[in-house]
Amino acid sequence: MAAPDRSVLPAHEDKTAVVRAMFDDIAPRYEMVNRVMTFGLDASWRRRAVRSLGLPAGSRILDLACGTGDLSRTATDAGLLPIGADLSFGMLDASHGTGPLVQADASALPLADGSVDGLICGYALRNFTDLESALREMGRVVRPGGRLSLLEVAAPKNRVMLAGYKVWFEHAVPIIGGLLSDRKAYRYLPASTAYLPEPDALRRSLGAAGFSGVNHRMLSGGLSQLVTATRRSSG
Ligand SMILES: C[S@@+](CC[C@H](N)C(=O)[O-])C[C@H]1O[C@@H](n2cnc3c(N)ncnc32)[C@H](O)[C@@H]1O
């Protein structure tokens, strides 16, 4: 994990309040900026994440940190039944997802043990104040044998792609985000990758949270990463 840039990233004790206020502010234009930032590629990453759950139609899933409901809509198109949970009332208010919505912190989910067949979480891990407790909550609410699919940003390994990625995400995105929405938020978003654990550390944390068969893969040459796992029957 890289050292956090304190000019953009909040201290641990302030993080939940800062992140919540930031997403409240950018909610109305969040999806439009996403499409511009990713050249529309995020739609295919979302479909891949939903497919990777491998759950049959009619399965109940939690879309954790659902934001404006992009992943929930993709899941609904695949015949799944999503419940959306998010910290930000602004994002929930701007949601045009499908299924019930609940305001909740990922570290304390208002769902019963083993109550969902699967859990999907898009581009949110790095925003959580306490990632370990959020992973434990995922392990608690997903039923034994249920599935997990986590989508996150990544940085390409290929040098040429990495150079292009840096120019785009570290320089262009804050400017474009500032013009279309809020510059501070779009400086935070690329910088917040500093909060993301390395794949091996995430694998260990998921194991401790009750998941097995953890699979990590890069998408679109490393612009995004997808982690899938299955809830163990015990522990
Ligand atoms: C980058 S957005 C992703 C939204 C959506 N999942 C998507 O794929 O477009 C991150 C989301 O995480 C939510 N979030 C941040 N911290 C959270 C927490 N502790 N508990 C629940 N949601 C949280 C934010 O409110 C925001 O909606």
Nearest-atom index, ligand 1, CA of 106: 20
**Residue 34: pLDDT above 90?**
no
Judge residue 232's burial from the number of C-beta atoms within 10 Å of its C-beta, 0-12 exposed, 13-18 middle, 19 or more buried: middle
Q: What's the CA-to-centroid distance between 92 and ligand 1, angstroms?
A: 10
Domains in the chain with CATH codes: 12-231 (3.40.50.150)
Cα dist. 189→26, 95, 105, 143, 146 in Å? 12, 20, 19, 32, 30
Query: pLDDT for 164-213, tens place per residue?
Result: 888 888 888 888 888 888 888 888 888 888 899 999 999 999 999 999 99
Looking at residue 36, its amino acid is V
Interval 41-70: pLDDT, tens: 889 999 999 999 999 999 999 999 999 999
C-alpha to C-alpha distance for 106 and 88, rounded to whole angstroms: 11
Q: Which of 23, 133, 173, 181 to mutate to test the pocket of ligand 1 (most atoms within 8 A of CB)?
A: 23
Closest ligand 1 atom, residue 24 Cα: 25
More confident residue, 9 or 115: 115
CA–CA gap between residue 153 and residue 118 (Å, rounded)? 21
Q: For the whole model, what pTM was predicted?
A: 0.93
- Element of type H or E holding 118: strand 116-122
Q: Which residue has the tokens 């304390």?
A: 108
pLDDT (0 to 100) of residue 132: 97
CA of 201 to the centre of ligand 1 (A): 21
91 lines ligand 1 (CB under 6 A): yes
Nearest CA to ligand 1 atom 4: 67
More confident of the two residues 154 and 205: 205
Report the candidate in 34, 19, 5 with the shortest Cα–Cα distance to residue 169: 34
In this structure, the number of other CB atoms found within 10 A of the CB of residue 93 comes to: 13
- Of 205, 229, 202, 233, the closest CA to residue 215 belongs to 229
Q: What is the pLDDT at residue 105?
A: 98
Rounded Cα–Cα distance for residues 131 and 232 (Å): 20
**Is pLDDT above 90 for 111?**
yes
Structure tokens at 99: 């299924």
Could you tell me which residues are beta bridge partners of residue 60?
Answer: 81
The residue contributing the CA closest to ligand 1 atom 1 is 123
**pLDDT per residue as tens digits for the range 64-87:** 999 999 999 999 999 999 999 999
